[in-house]
């Protein structure tokens, strides 16, 4: 089994996630894209763990999930707070700060 394929898959998912952040205006979807990127990283970690024959990658992936969970909570809390104020989840409307 060629680990390279997994990593390439990870790279593709990562890139899709990266582009998702750029083209979606809904903050929640944007955030999902970021989660996708984290998942891609996890996939790469796990794949490399397989290639390297060590478990460090798997441990990292586990921790990433934990961190991601925490991040999601905070992120969604922030998005909620903003939604309650502005009644919109579009990130483009948060552009008072500029120049």
Partner 1 sequence: MGYTLAFEAISPIANTQVATGSFAYLWLLIALPLIGALVLLLGGSRTNSFGPLLAVLMPATSFGFAVYLWLQMLGLPKELRSQNLVLFEWINIGSFQVPFGFQLDPLSMSFVLLITGVGSLIHIYSLGYMDHDPGKRRFFGYLNLFVAAMLLLVLADNYLLLYVGWEGVGLASYLLIGYYQHKPSAAAAAKKAFVVNRVGDVGLSLAIMLMFVAFHTVTFAGISEKAEQGSATVLFLIGIFLLIGAAGKSAQVPLQSWLLDAMEGPTPVSALIHAATMVTAGVYLIVRSNSIYDLSVAAQNAVILVGAVTLLAGAAIGMAKDDIKKALAASTMSQIGYMVLAAGLGPIGYVYAIMHLLTHGFFKAGMFLGAGSVMHAMNDEVDMRKYGALRGIMMITFGTFFVGYLAILGVPPFAGFYSKDLIIEAAFDRSIIAGVATLLGAGITAFYMSRLILMTFFSNKRWEDDAHPHESGLTMTIPMVVLAIGSVSSGFLLTYNDALKSWLAPVTGYQTPEPPIAIPVLIAITLATVLLGVLVAVKLYLKEAARVAPTDVSIFTKAARKDLYGDAINEAVFMRGGQQVVNATTAVDNSVVEGSVNFIGRITLGLSSLVRATQTGYTRNYALAMLIGVALLLLLAAIVRL
Partner 2 sequence: MLITTEVFVQPEINWFAISPFTILLAAGVFSLLIETFAPRAARRPLQLALVFGALLASFAAAALLLGTETLTAGDAVAIDGPGVLLQAVIALVALVGAAGLAENKVDPSGDAFAARASAIPGSSDERAFTAAGWYSTEIWTLFLFAAGGMQLFVVANDLLTMFIALEVMSLPLYLMAGMARRRRLLSQEAALKYFVLGAYSSAFFLFGAALVYGATGGINFNDIAQAIPGRPQTATLLMAGVVLIFVGMLFKIGSAPFHQWTPDVYQGAPTTLTAFMAAGVKLAAFGAMLRLAYSAFGALIWDWRPLLWAIAAITMFVGVLAALMQTDIKRMLAYSSVAHAGFLLVGLISGTNAGLVSVLFYLAAYAFTTLGVFLLLSLVRDANGEANNIDTWRGLASKSPLTAFTMTFLLLALAGFPLTSGFIAKFSVFAAAVQANQMPIVLLAILASAIAVVFYLRVVVLMYFRAAESTEVAVAIPSNFTVVALVVSAVITLILGVYPQPLLDLISQTPVFIR
Partner 3 sequence: MSITFAICATLSVTGALGMLLSKRAVHSALFVALTMINLAVLYLQLSAPFLGMVQIIVYTGAVMMLFLFVLMIVGVDSSDSLTETLKGQRVTAIAVAVALGLLLTTSIGSAVIATDTQLDTVLAGGNVQAIANLMFSKYVLALEVTAALLVTAAVGAMVLAHRERITPKLSQREQQKARFADYALTGKHPGPLPSSGVYARHNAVDTPALLPDGSVSTISVPAPLQARGSVRDINEEDAQQIVDLTQGNTVIEGGQDGRN
Query: How many Å apart are CA 24 and CA 17, to the nearest integer?
Result: 10
| Other beta carbons within 10 Å of 94 | 12
Query: How many Å apart are CA 84 and CA 79, to the nearest integer?
Result: 9
Binding mask of the shown chain, residues 32 to 61, with x at each position contacting partner 1 by CB under 8 A: ------------------------------
Give 26's strand partners. Answer: 90
Out of 1, 2, 23, 95, point to the residue binding partner 2 (CB under 8 A).
95
Tokens linked to 11: 């790279």
99 binds partner 1 (CB under 8 A): yes
CB of 89 to partner 2, least distance (A): 10
69 binds partner 2 (CB under 8 A): no
Virtual torsion, Cα 78, 81, 84, 89, nearest 10 deg: -10
CA 49, 50, 54, 59 torsion-angle sign: positive
> Which residues contact partner 2 by CB under 8 A?
7, 10, 14, 17-18, 21, 27, 30-31, 34, 37-38, 40-42, 44-45, 47-49, 51-57, 59-60, 63-64, 67, 70-71, 74-75, 77-79, 81-82, 84-86, 91, 94-99
Given the rule CB under 8 A, which residues bind partner 1?
18, 21-23, 25, 30, 91-92, 94-99
């Amino acid at each position: 089994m060629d680990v390279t394929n997994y990593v390439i898959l990870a790279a593709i998912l990562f890139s899709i996630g990266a582009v998702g952040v750029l083209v979606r205006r809904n903050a929640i979807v944007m955030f999902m894209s970021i989660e996708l990127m984290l998942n891609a990283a996890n996939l790469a970690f796990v794949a490399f763990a397989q290639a390297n024959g060590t478990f460090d990658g798997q441990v990292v992936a586990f921790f990433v999930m934990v961190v991601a969970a925490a991040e999601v909570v905070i992120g969604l809390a922030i998005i909620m707070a903003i939604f309650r104020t502005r009644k919109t989840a579009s990130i483009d409307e948060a552009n008072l700060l500029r120049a």
